[in-house]
Amino acid sequence: MKKYVFVMALLAMTWSCSEDDTEIIIDDPVVDNPTPPDPTGSASVVINEVAYLEGSVELFNDGDINVDLSDYFLCLGPGTYRRIGDLETEGNVDLAPGEYLVIGYDMPNEEGGIGLYANNDGFGDAANIRSFVQWGAAGSPRENVAVEANIWTEGEFIPVVEDEDNSIVYDGEGISASDWSETTTPSLGAENEFNAPVQSASIILNEVAYLGDSIELYNNGAIDVDVSDYFLCLGPGTYRRIGDLQTEGDVNMTPGSFLTVAYEMPNAEGGIGLYANNAGFGDPVNIRSFVQWGAPGSPRENVAVAANIWTEGEYVEVVGSADNSIAYDGEGFSASDWSETTETTFGAANIFTAPTVRSIVINEVEYLVDDLIELYNNGTETVDLSNYWMCLGPGQYFRVGDAAATEIVSGNVNLAPGEFLVISPVSLEASNDAGGLGLYANNDGFGDAANIRSFVQWGAAGNARESVAVEAGIWNAGGFVPNVPFGSSIAYDGEGFTSNDWEGTSTQTFGDANVFREPLEKRSVIINEVEYLIDDEIELYNNGNVAVDLSNYWMCLGPGQYFRIGDAAATDIVSGNVSLNPGEFLVISPVSLSAPDNAGGLGLYANNDSFGDAANIRSFVQWGAAGNARESVAVEAGIWNAGGFVPNVAAGSSIAYDGEGFTSNDWDEDTTPTLGLSNSAILQ
């Protein structure tokens, strides 16, 4: 560049030295701040981080010029594309080199692939795509476009992120899935941090054939696990080391492999826990997987709940068939993630085929007098019982819908959900001492477990159909309901499939929901005679078959009027022994209390936990009028009739019990009191 000073000096020299008229040409001066040239850099924006569980995509400008991304597009596949300028973003859409832009964009959690496009001229055109990544599986809709554009490797994908706090990040090096990795420290809007999650062992219970005593384990983790020293535990004292059990498959379980273990389990209800060791079966740190069936409350349920691998109070409902198993769907930690299936698949992926629901159950049986049988529909659909059968044993069966063989006491053979049907056999009789009763869906074979639907036996084990019910998983081998006295029935609690789910009740409720009151025989000590006018003497009688210590039993006349039988300061023992043998009498009198002469009531209690609690009262009588404070308790307990009372008697008489029932009609005046002896009227 020529400077003015230089030019002026040159002119001066020329003018002074020139001897002719030669013209001097001077260049135009150059001005400052020239116009800059057009940019020569290249645009390059890549997908740099994806948190698809959160719904965020990070773009990075790895080029050397600004790129306005307003009209760029994100595309998951046909019909699932969005213009970046229309989305919620963090950062500058006019993205400078080395800067990041975070975009909110909903993406599939399990598997998907996302492409960044410079326009929407054609999402199937490789000329338009700029960056791509796919996860969970190959074959997402834009994979082939990215492969053609040479920005992805065909068939590759990044494994699914398990933790919603993690993301997948790009190393900026190449075009394959190996250039991406999961990180536990997402850094959306900043330089990527590569902190790979620790690969953990993950062995779960996957299928349980509780009737077939087989358990399937599955490795759904990412590393090999030797389960030889893992333990299976049903509860205290019922645990076994897997390495000591019979197995099918390799105990060194690779990811995605199955192992079948032989382990004896309860048929009707139970719960099993898988433990990584035997350091403590009550410690939630050690348990790895859990399932329970038939009923809640198995011994290790609370451990599994504390470990956050089960939901409290839940259990898998089961039909109970030796051909079935319960299988896990791999999704969560509740009973709803398990279901019974008719297709057992030990050693392979689970197949879920629901069994037929046993919705009709035997609910109550009175086998001593009227041979009443109550059936109940606990399902969700109406069932026609016309062709169902009842079987007491070989040669003793009758069809429910056969009018000549079955008396319909109440209800409808076409039984709706929640309804009851009460029937009685016309010509057959149930055994009073030891019997069993099975309900069958047909008469194709009473020895075939596929046909039986419900079962109960009483008095003793060994009914002819017990083995059929056990095989079907609806009864416990050797289980039976103890015999009950006349006036009582045996009733089902609706919980499971064992004899423990049945008990005797003094309150028959045929055609209605069961009410459980102890039969007379169980209430072995009763108030038997009361002389309330002169001596306030009370006679107790043991009509059971075992001795009962009455030291901590209580008598209650009403609020604030109670005394302990074994308290010498409160109770005068007139005759007999506080340790009362069967068939013996104890006559007592309160020391400081007096029974009312006109209208009163007296309750016998097994304890003083609460005189208002029907569970504690054992016997009751009231005289003169209804409405004693403990009448309602006795009525609730099923040992008195509401509003009932024994008429007042004359001086010198007592009121005495006839030993028959639980109402005021079972009491009468005894003009010759027999305190300490059999009542003159009935106990001869």
DSSP 547-565: -EE-TT-EEEEETTEEEET
Q: What is the pLDDT of residue 682?
A: 42
Q: What is the pLDDT of residue 222?
A: 79
Q: What is the pLDDT of residue 625?
A: 95
Q: Compute the 3-state secondary structure of the chain and give helix, strand, coil in percent, each to the nearest 5.
A: 10, 35, 60
Cα separations in angstroms, 630 against 460, 566, 617: 38, 21, 9
Q: What is the pLDDT of residue 512?
A: 94
Q: What is the largest CA-CA distance in the chain?
A: 177
Sign of the C-alpha dihedral computed for residues 396, 399, 404 and 408 taken in this order: positive
The residues spanned by each domain of the chain are 45-183, 203-341, 360-505, 525-670
Q: What is the pLDDT of residue 496?
A: 80
Task: Please tell me whether residue 134 adopts helix, strand or coil conformation.
Answer: strand
CB–CB of 345/351 below 8 Å?
A: yes
**Amino acid at position 243, single letter:** G
Q: What is the pLDDT of residue 197?
A: 73
Q: In what order do the strands lie in the sheet with 203-209?
A: 247-248, 258-262, 214-219, 203-209, 325-328, 338-341
Give the separation between CA 177 and CA 185, rounded to whole angstroms.
19
Q: What is the pLDDT of residue 17?
A: 34
Expressed in angstroms, the distance from the first to the final Cα of the chain is 145
280 sits in the region (left: phi over 0; alpha: psi -120 to 50; else beta) called: left
The first and second tokens of residue 435, run together, are 């019997």
Give the separation between CA 413 and CA 283, rounded to whole angstroms.
51
DSSP letter for each residue of 631-646: HHHHHHTTSS-TT--B
Distance of CA 165 to the CA centre of its chain: 28
Pick out the chain residues at pLDDT < 70.
1-40, 161-162, 198-201, 319-321, 356-358, 486, 518-523, 545, 680-684
- CB neighbour class for 187 (10 Å; exposed up to 12, middle 13-18, buried from 19): middle
- Closest to 434 measured CA to CA, from 367, 372, 496: 367
Q: What is the pLDDT of residue 523?
A: 56
Strand partners, 82: 74
Give the separation between CA 215 and CA 271, rounded to whole angstroms.
12
Cα separations in angstroms, 605 against 531, 535, 548, 623: 19, 22, 13, 18
> Does the predicted TM-score (pTM) go above 0.75?
no
Give the separation between CA 259 and CA 214, rounded to whole angstroms.
10
- CB neighbour class for 119 (10 Å; exposed up to 12, middle 13-18, buried from 19): middle
Q: What is the pLDDT of residue 675?
A: 93
Q: What is the pLDDT of residue 30?
A: 44
**Amino acid at position 179, single letter:** D
